[in-house]
Amino acid sequence: MKPIYVDNNATTRVDEEVFAAMQPYFCEEYGNPSSMHSVGGRVGPKLKEARNQVANLIGARPDEIIFTSCGTESDNTAVHAALAADPGKRHIVTSRVEHPAIGSLVSSLSKQGYRISEIAVDGDGCLDMGSLEESLTPDTALVSIMWANNETGVIFPVEEIAQMCRQRGITFHTDAVQAVGKLPINLNDSAIDMLSLSGHKLHAPKGIGALYVRKGTKFSPFMIGGHQEKGRRAGTENVPGIIALGKACELAGKNMQEENTRVRDLRDRLETELIKRIPDAKINGTVKQRTPNTSNISFANIEGESILLMLNEFGICASSGSACTSGSLEPSHVMRAMGVPFTMAHGSIRFSLSIYNTLADIDEIIKQLPPIVERLRVLSPFS
- Show which residues are catalytic: 324
Q: What are phi and psi of 354, to 5 degrees?
A: -140, 180
Q: Helices 239-258 and 44-58 meet at what angle, rounded to 10?
A: 30
Cross-strand bridge partners of residue 4: 316
For Cα atoms 147, 125, 337, give the angle at the middle one, nearest 5 degrees.
Answer: 110
Residue 173's nearest CA partner among 286, 90, 79 is 79
Q: How far is CA 249 from CA 50, 59, 118, in A?
A: 9, 12, 32
Residue 201's nearest CA partner among 186, 227, 179, 226 is 179
CA distance 70 to 51: 15
Q: For the chain, report the end-to-end CA distance as a whole number of angstroms.
A: 33
CA distance 53 to 247: 7
Give the DSSP per-residue string, 102-116. Answer: HHHHHHHHHTTT-EE
CA distance 35 to 223: 20
The region, left, alpha or beta by phi > 0 then psi within -120 to 50, assigned to residue 201 is alpha
